[in-house]
Structure 1
């Protein structure tokens, strides 16, 4: 049985020489887990950990790994040399973030702030949720 992604010696954008890749996917070189040169390439999360962002550049390769026999994970890989520093937080961004977090804490029943983020399924604080469900159980028991 032939491998789905056989090894292939091909030119790549991050090196002047040809390198071993696992074929192409969507026109981009496909790399196995652990085969990408870590000093040249990084995923979006790895760039963020280094304090950088892709800066609008397109990915130069795709990294794939098999999580289970039925599940493949594919990640875009960017050139670290083309990455730019992360934009700093401004007072306006801090203000917008504070407003968004406050909206996640306001109970839809009583309108109070219980000082914790409410569940997205109910959007209610615990006392309101208990009061609503206590009346539901008494109605069921009475019937």
Structure 2
């Protein structure tokens, strides 16, 4: 085992407070949130059971990164939304895509800094430019 891996090997949790493993060396029953989700599971109220630590140079700054692990044996199936919840989400998403100026569904979530669809924002910008040109 390399020195880097040995630095993160703490299955008893004496050094880091919780069981800690190097990259790709955690037991098979411990999964990340993404791995649980891919299996159709959720943590089910359990806290973090362990962590994986590794050295990273992401964005140019060296440091140590962590991924938290949950025990698959205590995981529960993911909840499914009720038909009413799905309808409410569809309505909310439609409202986020509807332009208040032209009242069209833009097909994308409207940028919050503009508050309108890109077509309406372009028209407003051209109107402002032409008004400035006339005033000058």
* Structure 1 residue corresponding to 2:44, chosen from 32, 39, 55: 55
Aligned residue among 96, 101, 114 for 1:109:
101
**Deviation readout 1:4-39 (Å, 9 max, x if unpaired):** x82556536xxxxxxxx9x31xx21222211112x2
Q: Is residue 11–residue 20 contact of structure 2 (8 Å, CA) maintained in 1?
A: no
Aligned to 1:6: 7
Cα shift readout 1:28-75 (whole Å, capped 9, x = no counterpart): 1222211112x2110011000000000010011122223305243222
C-alpha spacing 1:6/1:126, structure 2 compared with 1 (3 Å): closer
**Pair 1:65 & 2:54 matched:** yes
- Choose between structure 1 and 2: higher helix proportion: 2
Structure 2 gaps of 5+ residues are none
The answer as to 2:126 corresponding to 1:134 is yes
Counting matched residue pairs gives: 129
Instruction: Measure the CA separation in 1 of the matches of 2:42 and 2:23.
Output: 21
What is aligned with 1:29?
A: 19
**What TM-score, normalized by structure 1, do the two folds share?**
0.75
Task: Give the alignment's Cα RMSD to 1 decimal.
Answer: 2.6
Q: 2:44, 2:75 within 8 Å by CA — same for their partners in 1?
A: yes
3-state SS of paired residue (2:116): coil
Report the CA distance between 1:103 and its aligned residue.
Answer: 1.6
Residues 1:96 and 2:88 are matched in the alignment: yes
